[in-house]
Structure 1
Amino acid sequence: MSGSIFDSFLTTTDMQAVFSDQAIVQGMFRFEEALATAQAAEGMIPDSAARAIASVCSAPLYDIPALIAAGQRAGSLAIPLVKELTRTVALYDKDSAARVHWGSTSQDVQDTAMVLATRDALQLIDSALESLCAHLLELASRHLDTPMLARTLMQPAQVTSFGFKLAGWAAPLVRARARLRTAAARALQLQLGGAVGTLSVMGAQGPAVAQRMAHALGLRVPDGNWHTQRDEWVRLGMEVAILTGSLGKVATDLSLMAQGEVGELAEPSGAGRGGSSAMPHKRNPVSAMIALAAAARAPHTAATLLSTMGQQHERGLGNWQAELAAWPQLFLGAHGALQALNDAFADLQVDGARMLRNIDALQGLVFAEAASAYMASAIGRPAAHALLEQLSQQAVQTGRHLRDLALDAVRDDAALAAIDADQLAALFDPAQAAVSARHLAQEQLPALRRALAAPL
């Protein structure tokens, strides 16, 4: 598929091949071959005509750039394609040439070709998504007991488990995979309606032709033509956009945790990966960068698809054409993001010691809520909250650890005599603080693995 050098930078060669000019044109020829074969089987055209048409339905036989240029003038790529197909068939059999594209219309050809390409695109996405989810779930299992800071509003909040965070990254991706499959089961359908969607030229044989074509192409038989009924199709596109947004969430957290000042995660390095043209020390999170770029573009592409749904009467003018142009961008970005994050998580470097140091550097402040809840049993919630607020301010001012200040308060205040100092001190243990997160993640992981292993 054509695009700038920077478009290519953000996707994969495999996905580019799916939506390449040749692949789309070949999809259109597959439609024409299936149409002729189905019509011959129903006695609408001679078998010899179907064979003649099928014999030249091969994209390499044609000048694709010339077809594209002619399509721009004609308003549809299918118009010059059918014309050239007819001309080529006529070179061998003039009678058969009259049967080319019988009873169909340009949108039937182009929509079905895009459906065929999208099916291939979804297979690539499904495979990459399964791999990424597997990486995340495996890491989650390994790091159930790895304490780290949880952060809210970009500030340290409490202690959680890195395994719990990884499960939270994986869960939307596992759900996205299932929802993509559900949406695809509805959207990957044949387009066949003829000039205004009524299959009038084929008459009573039209539904049987559609059945045969759908079977030959491995597509769902539509309830009817969907020339301007784009709901199932656009819904599939929205699922790809939502997936890309979830990948952006993972990439955002990864990039923040990889900052030098945080240093809890690092993408793989070596072979020039993540380097700088000016600063030899740099280790840039390039996988996160690619996923973030895809996430930044996806909402606008999704909005374009939504804006094209108000198509006029029985064939859209301008909006259908905008949809065709925008559609591949979602898949190109999503697969680029998936491949980039797979590269990162296949060899992600996790610095558990740095995670602990980042917790320790906060002088116990992130344990204030747990300490307050424990002290409330002795002096009530409002008084405990006020005390921990005061002690937290003191910790910041003096540089002392909140644990030590809390223990001093217990020793010096008779009202706190019922507080067990050892239990209070234990609340400041990062490993103990992460236990709840560990248990939740441990409960989530089996269900996520089952969902990931669910058959097609």
Structure 2
Amino acid sequence: MTVSLFDNFLTTREMSAVFDDAAVVQAMFRFEECLARAQAAQGMIPEAAARAIAGVCKAPLYDIGALVHAGRSAGSVAIPLVKELTKTVALYDKEASSFVHWGSTSQDVIDTAMVLVTREALELLDAGLAQLTAALLALAERHIDTPVLARTLMQPAQVSSFGFKLAGWAAPLVRARLRLRDTAARSLQLQLGGAVGTLSAMGAQGRAVAAHMADELGLACPASNWHTQRDEWVRLGLEVAVLTGSLGKIATDLALMAQGEIGELAEPSGVGKGGSSAMPHKRNPVGAMTALAAAARSPHAAAALLGTMGQQHERGLGNWQAELAEWPGLFLSAHGALAALNEAIGGLQVDPARMRANIDALGGLVFAEAVAGYLAGFIGRPAAHTMLETLSRVAVESGRHLADVVSDAIDADPVLRNQVDLAHWQSLFHPVAAAAPGAAAARALLGHLHDIQRKDETT
């Protein structure tokens, strides 16, 4: 697979290598090798033929570029691959060459090869997810009691716990790991159906051959072929797209909190990292940028997979080929985003003092709901809400702290002046106290996530 300069910028060498042309071709040869061995085990072909075929199922023996080029004219790279394999086997054993690819079809070879390389791709994603999740959970534990502004509709809302925000970032990643494994268990299947999916050329031995191959390849053996029944396979691709969307959510928040005007977070710095070609002072969040780019691309690839599902009869014309072309991009983007965020979160610089300063700069307005909730016990919720709406406007217009404005209003109200606990309502303006519900929610969520991980480890 040829990866462009700009694709390379948004992915990793490791994931590019998984879907490299040579890797996919080798996976196709692996299919042919296992097919021959399984058929020999069932007495369909001679053992010597199986050995002769397996002995030359090695991608470096072939001109991969020529195979790819010939595949364009043939309509499938499997066709020239089988042709060249047959010729190569014939050089050593003429009789054995007649048994190459017996009873199989091009889609069997290609789909199984894609399953094999996708399994490697999923292992990379799983490792990256494990690393990122662990880093986020560790940070969340460290910052459970750190007050931070929660923002809704891009505006300051209330004071929350930064640990709760981090645990919220980690939660969909923990779920993604489980769902990817669960979906992979169903979708990483052998493809073996022959010309129209019935294994007619192999007769009664077809199912036994399939079971032998699946066992040797470490894949699930489906009840039938899935040439044009792509539901389980596409579902796996969609799970990767959802994961990338979750990574994009983390990147969005990180980028916003790293803005100079906010300054609550910063990605790790270093020579040549996040700089600008024009502005020496710039410190760009390149990890977040990479993950956001991946998240922007994935919905289109996911939609393309869904769009290819209406495949005609027993073999798709154009839509299966489109699916094959789209498939690697999902994994390239997801792993690029994971790697970028692992680097960013691994060296993330958290500034609790700036978080506190951003809270203080709002003059107490973010505590208005808590104060209204307290005063509702004396004057009812509607009246308390209206009162704090009015007092918040007064605070903004006068430039005074909301606590001072509320204090004046309580003193002026004989009912409130005689009933309100001064020390209690003033404590509602303390950031650490205001963050307590978020901290409690963080502890509960972290406990839940750790339970999920422990159960996963024991299964």
- Equivalent positions of 1:43-122 (< 5 A) are 43-122=43-122
Contact 2:3/2:16 (8 A) holds in 1 = no
How far apart, CA to CA, are the structure 2 residues paired with 1:258 and 1:401? 27
Which residue number corresponds to residue 440 of structure 2?
Answer: 439
- Equivalent positions of 1:400-415 (< 5 A) are 400-415=400-415
How far apart, CA to CA, are the structure 2 residues paired with 1:386 and 1:444? 34
Query: Residue 110 of structure 1 aligns to which amino acid in structure 2?
Result: I
Paired residue total? 456
CA deviation vs aligned residue, 1:346-397 (integer Å, no higher than 9, x gap)? 1100000000000000000000011011111112222211211111111111
CA deviation vs aligned residue, 1:39-58 (integer Å, no higher than 9, x gap)? 00100000000000000000
How far apart, CA to CA, are the structure 2 residues paired with 1:415 and 1:386? 17
Which residue number corresponds to residue 216 of structure 2?
Answer: 216
How far apart, CA to CA, are the structure 2 residues paired with 1:11 and 1:142? 30
Which residue number corresponds to residue 129 of structure 2?
Answer: 129
Which residue number corresponds to residue 427 of structure 2?
Answer: 426
After TM superposition, give the deviation of residue 451 of structure 1 in Å. 2.1
How far apart, CA to CA, are the structure 1 residues paired with 2:282 and 2:452? 39
How far apart, CA to CA, are the structure 2 residues paired with 1:91 and 1:450? 59
Query: Residue 422 of structure 2 aligns to which amino acid in structure 1?
Result: A
Contact 2:174/2:453 (8 A) holds in 1 = yes
Which residue number corresponds to residue 291 of structure 1?
Answer: 291
Which residue number corresponds to residue 311 of structure 1?
Answer: 311
How far apart, CA to CA, are the structure 1 residues paired with 2:447 and 2:14? 32
Which residue number corresponds to residue 328 of structure 2?
Answer: 328
How far apart, CA to CA, are the structure 1 residues paired with 2:124 and 2:390? 56
Which residue number corresponds to residue 372 of structure 2?
Answer: 372
Contact 1:86/1:97 (8 A) holds in 2 = yes
How far apart, CA to CA, are the structure 1 residues paired with 2:377 and 2:445? 32
Pair 1:278-2:275 in alignment: no
CA deviation vs aligned residue, 1:264-313 (integer Å, no higher than 9, x gap)? 00000002110000000100000000000010000000000000000000
Query: Residue 141 of structure 1 aligns to which amino acid in structure 2?
Result: E
How far apart, CA to CA, are the structure 1 residues paired with 2:110 and 2:6? 27
- Equivalent positions of 1:223-238 (< 5 A) are 223-238=223-238
Which residue number corresponds to residue 201 of structure 1?
Answer: 201
After TM superposition, give the deviation of residue 450 of structure 1 in Å. 3.0
Which residue number corresponds to residue 256 of structure 2?
Answer: 256
TM-score by length of 2: 0.98
Q: Which structure 2 segments of 5+ residues have no match?
A: none
How far apart, CA to CA, are the structure 2 residues paired with 1:29 and 1:176? 32
Which residue number corresponds to residue 349 of structure 1?
Answer: 349
Which residue number corresponds to residue 152 of structure 1?
Answer: 152
Contact 1:38/1:213 (8 A) holds in 2 = yes
After TM superposition, give the deviation of residue 419 of structure 1 in Å. 0.9
After TM superposition, give the deviation of residue 86 of structure 1 in Å. 0.1
Mean CA deviation greater in 384-393 or 102-111: 384-393
How far apart, CA to CA, are the structure 1 residues paired with 2:415 and 2:325? 72
Query: Residue 16 of structure 2 aligns to which amino acid in structure 1?
Result: Q
Query: Residue 260 of structure 1 aligns to which amino acid in structure 2?
Result: G
Secondary structure at the residue paired with 2:225? Answer: coil
Query: Residue 400 of structure 1 aligns to which amino acid in structure 2?
Result: R
Query: Residue 81 of structure 2 aligns to which amino acid in structure 1?
Result: L
Query: Residue 181 of structure 2 aligns to which amino acid in structure 1?
Result: R
CA deviation vs aligned residue, 1:381-425 (integer Å, no higher than 9, x gap)? 222112111111111111110011111211221121211111110
How far apart, CA to CA, are the structure 2 residues paired with 1:174 and 1:98? 50
How far apart, CA to CA, are the structure 2 residues paired with 1:139 and 1:73? 54
After TM superposition, give the deviation of residue 447 of structure 1 in Å. 2.2
Secondary structure at the residue paired with 2:238? Answer: helix
How far apart, CA to CA, are the structure 2 residues paired with 1:364 and 1:384? 16
How far apart, CA to CA, are the structure 1 residues paired with 2:378 and 2:171? 40
Query: Residue 427 of structure 1 aligns to which amino acid in structure 2?
Result: L
How far apart, CA to CA, are the structure 2 residues paired with 1:451 and 1:272? 39
Secondary structure at the residue paired with 1:100? Answer: coil
TM-score by length of 1: 0.99
Secondary structure at the residue paired with 1:326? Answer: helix
**Sequence identity of aligned pairs in percent?**
70
After TM superposition, give the deviation of residue 3 of structure 1 in Å. 2.2
Contact 1:190/1:221 (8 A) holds in 2 = yes
Which residue number corresponds to residue 168 of structure 1?
Answer: 168
How far apart, CA to CA, are the structure 2 residues paired with 1:293 and 1:48? 52
Secondary structure at the residue paired with 2:270? Answer: coil
How far apart, CA to CA, are the structure 2 residues paired with 1:148 and 1:37? 62
Query: Residue 96 of structure 2 aligns to which amino acid in structure 1?
Result: S
How far apart, CA to CA, are the structure 1 residues paired with 2:381 and 2:291? 44
After TM superposition, give the deviation of residue 446 of structure 1 in Å. 2.1
After TM superposition, give the deviation of residue 437 of structure 1 in Å. 0.7
Q: Which structure 1 segments of 5+ residues have no match?
A: none
Query: Residue 10 of structure 1 aligns to which amino acid in structure 2?
Result: L
- Aligned CA-pair RMSD: 0.8
Contact 1:410/1:421 (8 A) holds in 2 = no
Moved over 4 A (4+): none
Query: Residue 400 of structure 2 aligns to which amino acid in structure 1?
Result: R
Secondary structure at the residue paired with 1:29? Answer: helix
